Amino acid sequence: MKKIAFITGATSGFGKAAAHRFAQEGWSLVLSGRRIKRLLDLKETLSVPVHVMQLDVRDADAVKQAVDSLPDEFSAVTALVNNAGLALAPQGAPEVELSDWHTMIDTNVTGLVNVTHALLPTLIKTGAGATIINVGSIAGQWPYPGSHVYGASKAFVKQFSYNLRCDLQGTGVRVTDLSPGIAETEFTLVRTKGDQSASDNLYQGTTPLSAEDIAEQMFYIASLPDHININRVEVMPTRQAWSPFAIDRD
């Protein structure tokens, strides 16, 4: 039976790498993102059936319309990869614009909920082996300065994934919270609004994860035997670990 992966945020980073990884195994793809040229360019590099859609996941009506209008050959989605998301404002909370907090909530929380809700009937119809992969972050488990709403939004992703597991029991649909650590993508460029030096400094002198590392985890999760559900995967590079608690001193 043909397998179809629906990947949000496919224009770069984890989503783009996931498109290549699933395509290597012959999966058909539905790829969404806000930058249509990037999606069309990506489609040209893939040798499997691909349907692209310019989509802002924050717009619930647009998401529902996009899912409802999928061509027949792409409608029986097997795996949903909720990858669209972002971090903004690495400064401390008192220095952050409220609009940046709202953008993170609208994308990381509301957008993920919009897409999941729209595709749940399809995934339940697919049944055994259907998979929802929600891209979280270690920030959803481990706080750090400057994480404020970003970390809180990823904590939502974790708990939402667990709660979905409860509600989908008996349907055959699997749910995983995939939570990466430091990974070299456009993440920091977006977070710093284009500061290339900040991005370079973050990854300098260490060995971060790559987008392909996370795409490999996505494909592994989605291709497991039907009776196996991985609840949560937290992936760090070997050279990243936790720090001691911060203590304020006189």
Task: Identify the residue whose tokens are 């974790």.
Answer: 158
CA–CA distance, 100 with 69 (Å, rounded to integer):
32
Annotated active-site residue in 150, 162, 203, 220: 150
Closest CA to 67 of 55, 50, 79: 55
- How many other C-beta atoms can be found within 10 angstroms of the C-beta atom of residue 152? 17
Decide: 182 and 240 in contact? Cβ < 8 Å: yes
220 belongs to the catalytic site: no
CA–CA distance, 14 with 168 (Å, rounded to integer):
26
Helix or strand (DSSP H, E) at 30: strand 28-33
Sign of CA dihedral 60, 62, 64, 66: negative
Residues that are catalytic: 150
